[in-house]
Amino acid sequence: MTDHDSELLFARAGAALRAPHPRDAAEIEALVRRVGAAPVVHVMPARAWLPWWVGIAAAGVAFVIGLGVGRTGGARTTVASTGGRPTLVSQVASIGGGEQSIAFVFVAPAARKVSLVGDFNGWDASATPLQRTDGRNTWSIAVRLPPGRHVYAFVIDGATWVADPQAPLAPEQWFGQRNSVIVIPEDRRS
């Protein structure tokens, strides 16, 4: 194999890996099947500038699985299991100027109360409670966040802090437990 062949091989492998991952597709299907049994959860207020909401509504689910938050918009849904509780954490970012609306969805069947804490609400567990949807297992809330790096966690029953296991972890561990990070894209480096 020549250097040129190697380059072609790696280029092809790279292209294949940039394509939707088969495992992701399987996860998407499994997720949609699971979620399909639950009532529709509207994780974000309807907006005219989110055309893919049509697809979400048609699918009958409120979860969109995409390739992550990006400059041109996107969605990310992650499935996780934390502390024995099955959880589904979803963040959907809508791209506009300045702040963006992010939906946080959390499935915690045994929880009596779930709230979102982060640098955007002073880490106040009473400030941003998630709403239980139709008495089922899903909790959700939409929060407007300005561009930048935000650190957050979920608090279950007012006591248990849980990071989003599928989101980037914050390296800083000031008080014994890691949080999660979400980045709202900046316009340009100033």
Partner 1 sequence: MTLRRFARLSVVSTLLMLVARDARAQDPRLRGALDVETLARVTRFTDSARAESLPTDPLVGVALEGAQRRAPGARIARAVQEYLGALRGARVALGVEASAPEIVSGAGVLLAGVPADVLKRMRAGNPHRSLTVPLVVLADLVARGVPKDTASRAIETVARGNAKDDDFTALRRLVEQDIGAGASPATATMLRARSLNGVVPPDPVAPAPAVRRP
Residue 167 DSSP label: S
Least distance in angstroms from the C-beta of 17 to partner 1: 4
| Cα–Cα distance for residue pair 122/118, rounded to 1 Å | 6
What the block records as the tokens of 69 is: 């938050």
Least distance in angstroms from the C-beta of 119 to partner 1: 4
Output 115 or 140, the one with its CB closest to partner 1: 115
Q: Which residues bind partner 1 (CB under 8 A)?
A: 1-3, 6-7, 10-11, 13-14, 16-18, 21, 23, 67-71, 74, 76, 117, 119, 122-125, 147-149, 151, 161, 166, 168-172, 174-175, 178-179, 181, 183, 185-186, 188-190
Least distance in angstroms from the C-beta of 26 to partner 1: 12
Spell out the residues 6+ positions from residue 62 whose beta carbon is closer than 8 angstroms to its own: 35, 40, 41, 42, 43, 56, 105, 140
> Alpha helix locations (H) across 19-135?
22-36, 53-59
Output 88 or 133, the one with its CB closest to partner 1: 88
Beta bridge partners of 132: 139
Output 68 or 96, the one with its CB closest to partner 1: 68
CA-wise closest residue to 117 among 133, 94, 141, 93: 141
Output 14 or 55, the one with its CB closest to partner 1: 14
Backbone angles phi, psi at 75, to 5 degrees: -150, 160
Output 18 or 48, the one with its CB closest to partner 1: 18
Backbone angles phi, psi at 116, to 5 degrees: -105, 130
Least distance in angstroms from the C-beta of 54 to partner 1: 23
Least distance in angstroms from the C-beta of 178 to partner 1: 7
